Amino acid sequence: MSTHGLTGTDVPTLDDDPFGHRILTDPYDFHARLRDAGPVVRLPRYGVYAMGRYEHVHASLQDWKTFVSSRGAGLTDFKREKPWRPPSLLLEADPPDHTVVRQAMGSVISPRTVRELKPVFRPKAEALADRLVERGAFDAVTDLAEVYPLQVFPDAVGLPQEGRDALLRYGALAFNAFGPHNDLLDAALATAGPVQQWIADSCRRESLAPGGFGARLWEAADRGEISHEQAPLLVRSLLSAGVDTTVYGITNMMYAFASHPEQWERLHRAPSRAKFAFDEALRFESPVQTFFRTTAYDTEVAGVPIPEGSKVLLFLGSANRDPRHWGEAGDRFDIAHRAAGHVAFGMGVHQCVGQPIARLEAELVLSALAERIRGIELDGVPRPKLNNTIKGWASIPVRVTPA
Ligand code: OVV
């Protein structure tokens, strides 16, 4: 670590590349150094500021006036550079524009509309769990986490059957695009054309089955809650943020358990803890590791000046393990932890609007498995899946003992 005087105040500086393969694969040592370096750190490699401590990540997420989203939630400053796609009306917007759109999405994804999905989603989780337990050994990613969300979510949105393989590829693209233009983004862009076309086609009213989230967004436009021009972009948000996030959420939850078999035994004895176990897994191994904000004016955090127009990288995954907030237990996966207050879904006005759907999927999968499986263990070496924003695994071979 070195310090450079800027305006008389020393801002700690780290030369690491948080979007390099080494840190994306295993970010936790870097997170500890980031937090220990100070509340605000400069990353000169990208000309940005960074925060890794819970207190300041949490506070910055809440302070949408200072740390705006309308200049992009990635490295690109939309005020200076053209975004790779028309900005999201939700993620990449500030109040008051954001508030209107968020309200429309929040009425479409409400506790009531999600509760209605339970009888549709549950039997599919149970059938999949039955098949996997029968097999005894399976890949928790390719046979489970990448399977279940795609069995339920696209139907809930009302998407066309044909071409749904574009969904995971689009998610990988969208999450890579928050980072720098590195090898990971290049690889995602290489096949992006047809993927983006399928997404655009699927957002049209004619493509969306009646009764689904997609059709309901168009009906919100008919009611005047949003405009008809906004409707397809809101459907696009469902498709951008609704698939990879849940795939990685379930993946990381299974990784946490497979690498902590004693926690599975406790869950098996009390499957109703699935809800809390999912939060603890999100805290311990957060799918969305980082988001950027941009400072709307000169500001100061913990005495460190941050000039207007600075990109600030908020390390959600680091905040979620910060011992200053969670104590020494922050680095341990323990389903008895009180994980409430984690920032894996964000915090403040942008906190994940699809959260009830993600929770429904993860809890149904986990409780179905917890009832049927007494023991789980790794049956091979998990293979990480690298992305500039979302952390997960390409493969997690597991072996299970039926109850
Ligand atoms: C990839 C991503 C995350 C969250 C929100 C959105 C996209 C959006 O398009 O609104």
List CB contacts of 22: < 8 A, sequence separation 6 or more.
Answer: none
Instruction: Give the global pTM.
Output: 0.97
- Please write the tens of the pLDDT for every residue from 74-131: 999 999 999 999 999 999 999 999 999 999 999 999 999 999 999 999 999 999 999 9
CA of 92 to the centre of ligand 1 (A): 8
Q: Is 241 in the pocket of ligand 1 (CB under 6 A)?
A: yes
State the pLDDT at residue 10: 82
Q: Is 237 in the pocket of ligand 1 (CB under 6 A)?
A: yes
CA-89 nearest atom, ligand 1: 10
CA of 91 to the centre of ligand 1 (A): 6
Q: Is 88 in the pocket of ligand 1 (CB under 6 A)?
A: yes
DSSP, collapsed to helix, strand or coil, labels residue 39 as: coil
State the pLDDT at residue 9: 60
Q: Which of 186, 199, 189, 336 has the alpha carbon at shortest distance from 270?
A: 336
CA-175 nearest atom, ligand 1: 1
Structure tokens at 366: 């986990």
Q: Is 175 in the pocket of ligand 1 (CB under 6 A)?
A: yes
> How distant is the alpha carbon of residue 330 from its chain centre?
19
Structure tokens at 388: 């500039």
Which residue CA neighbors atom 8 of ligand 1 most closely? 237
CA-174 nearest atom, ligand 1: 1
Which residue CA neighbors atom 10 of ligand 1 most closely? 237
Q: Is 388 in the pocket of ligand 1 (CB under 6 A)?
A: no
Q: What is the DSSP letter of 263?
A: H
CA of 171 to the centre of ligand 1 (A): 9
Question: What long-range pairs does 122-131 form, CB within 8 A, spacing at least 24?
Answer: 122/364, 122/368, 124/148, 124/151, 124/152, 125/361, 125/364, 125/365, 125/368, 126/368, 128/365, 128/368, 129/365, 129/368, 129/369, 129/371, 129/372, 130/372
Residues 377 and 262 sit within 8 Å (Cβ to Cβ): no
Q: Which of 244, 271, 194, 220 has the alpha carbon at shortest distance from 390?
A: 244
Phi/psi for 71 (5° steps) reads: -95, 15
State the pLDDT at residue 48: 98
- Counting ligand 1 atoms within 8 A of each CB, the residue from 85, 240, 248 with the most, and so the one to mutate, is 240
Query: Does the structural domain 92-288+331-402 have CATH classification 1.10.630.10?
Result: yes
Q: Write down the mean pLDDT value for the chain.
A: 97
- Counting ligand 1 atoms within 8 A of each CB, the residue from 61, 70, 75, 90 with the most, and so the one to mutate, is 90
CA of 15 to the centre of ligand 1 (A): 29
Q: Is 240 in the pocket of ligand 1 (CB under 6 A)?
A: yes
Which residue CA neighbors atom 3 of ligand 1 most closely? 241
Rounded CA-CA distance 349/251 in Å is 27
Rounded CA-CA distance 292/299 in Å is 16
Q: What is each CA distance from 201 to 11, 55, 102, 149, 216, in whole angstroms?
A: 47, 42, 23, 21, 17
Rounded CA-CA distance 95/361 in Å is 30
State the pLDDT at residue 19: 98
Rounded CA-CA distance 235/155 in Å is 13
Hunting for tokens 């506790």 — which residue is that?
111
CA of 343 to the centre of ligand 1 (A): 16
State the pLDDT at residue 306: 98
CA of 199 to the centre of ligand 1 (A): 13
CA of 212 to the centre of ligand 1 (A): 19
CA of 261 to the centre of ligand 1 (A): 33
Q: What is each CA distance from 320 to 229, 288, 361, in whole angstroms?
A: 37, 11, 22
Q: Report the 10 Å Cβ neighbour count for 328.
A: 7
- Which residues of the chain have a pLDDT value below 70? 1-9
Which residue CA neighbors atom 9 of ligand 1 most closely? 237
Q: Which of 200, 348, 146 has the alpha carbon at shortest distance from 208?
A: 200
Q: What are the residue boundaries of the structural domains of the chain, listed by start?
A: 92-288+331-402
Phi/psi for 149 (5° steps) reads: -55, -35
Phi/psi for 63 (5° steps) reads: -95, 75
